Chains A and B, each alone.
Chain A
Amino acid sequence: EAGVAQSPRYKIIEKRQSVAFWCNPISGHATLYWYQQILGQGPKLLIQFQNNGVVDDSQLPKDRFSAERLKGVDSTLKIQPAKLEDSAVYLCASSLERPRNNSPLHFGNGTRLTVT
């Protein structure tokens, strides 16, 4: 099966600019996650979708970050305006079922964002 697809692979922007990341999960996967991974740290959850509904966005900086999952498939994550501290790898992951069934997370290779 095809894995989680993410684009772009790399992005360099100046602070205060906007940027968008795209994710296409594994076909049939109901749950989609966006994680932020700062260099040298573990992934930190930004937002969790179940189909096209938001399950958890408690750690999403909503003043600058937004995310949507149209038709319960693809998802986009946007940052506007970007800050220097947003420099990180943004990982998208999907799982077949709800977390309570312990379906493994399948991660994409991420988008590396550098804010200058």
Chain B
Amino acid sequence: QQQVKQSPQSLIVQKGGISIINCAYENTAFDYFPWYQQFPGKGPALLIAIRPDVSEKKEGRFTISFNKSAKQFSLHIMDSQPGDSATYFCAASWSRAGTALIFGKGTTLSVSS
């Protein structure tokens, strides 16, 4: 119930293409769903986040789509660029209870030029 399952494990996308990473969760108490981006040798950094009261959130080329009934959410990267090559982690938390983030296992994205 505390897991966040992320797929795919790795992804190769052509420059200018759309990258899609998916996550699923079990705990219906989760109420905060961020995505973090991590470059080699660096700590993860917040990319974008969503609450379950909305179905979509867009920031620049990054969009989160949220499906509450399916308990799934996904990250879409439009017009993918080589600089987007990194590892992406979805996460979830029950923020009302003050719990810390639970992270998925990560997706390594490579954008080829």
A and B held together in a complex = yes
Interface residues of A (CB under 8 A from B): 4, 33, 35, 40-45, 48, 50, 55-56, 91, 93, 98-102, 104-110
CA distance A101 to B104 in the complex (A): 21
Q: Are A100 and B98 in contact (CB under 8 A)?
A: yes
Chain B: interface residue total (CB-CB under 8 A): 28
Question: Chain A binding site: helix, strand, loop or mixed by DSSP?
Answer: mixed
CB distance from B24 to the nearest CB of A (A): 14
Q: List 11 A-B contacts (CB under 8 A).
A: A33-B100, A56-B99, A98-B98, A100-B98, A104-B34, A105-B36, A105-B101, A106-B45, A107-B43, A107-B45, A109-B41
Is there contact, CB below 8 Å, between A102 and B32? yes
Q: Are B34 and A100 in contact (CB under 8 A)?
A: no
Question: A-B pairs with CB below 8 Å: how many?
Answer: 63
A43 to B89, CA, bound (A): 9
Contacting pair A41 B105 (CB below 8 A): yes
Q: Knowing A33-B100, A41-B106, A105-B101 touch, does A100 contact B95 (C-beta < 8 A)?
A: yes
Q: Give 12 new A-B contacts, CB below 8 A, not counting A33-B100, A48-B100, A101-B95.
A: A41-B105, A41-B106, A42-B4, A42-B106, A45-B102, A55-B100, A99-B99, A100-B98, A102-B49, A104-B49, A107-B45, A109-B43
Bound CA span A33–B93, Å: 14
Are B32 and A55 interface neighbours, CB within 8 A?
no
Q: Which of B34, B101, B105 contacts A45 (CB 8 A)?
A: B101
CB <8 Å contact, A4 and B96: no
Chain B residues lying within 8 Å of A40, measured Cβ to Cβ, are 105-106
CA A56 – CA B34 in complex, angstroms? 20
A50 partner residues in chain B, CB cutoff 8 A: 98
B96 proximity list for chain A (CB < 8 A): 100
Q: How far does the alpha carbon of A42 sit from the alpha carbon of B103 in the complex, in Å?
A: 6
Cβ contact within 8 Å between B98 and A110: no
**Residues of B with C-beta under 8 A to A104:** 34, 46, 49
Q: Does B17 contact A (CB under 8 A)?
A: no
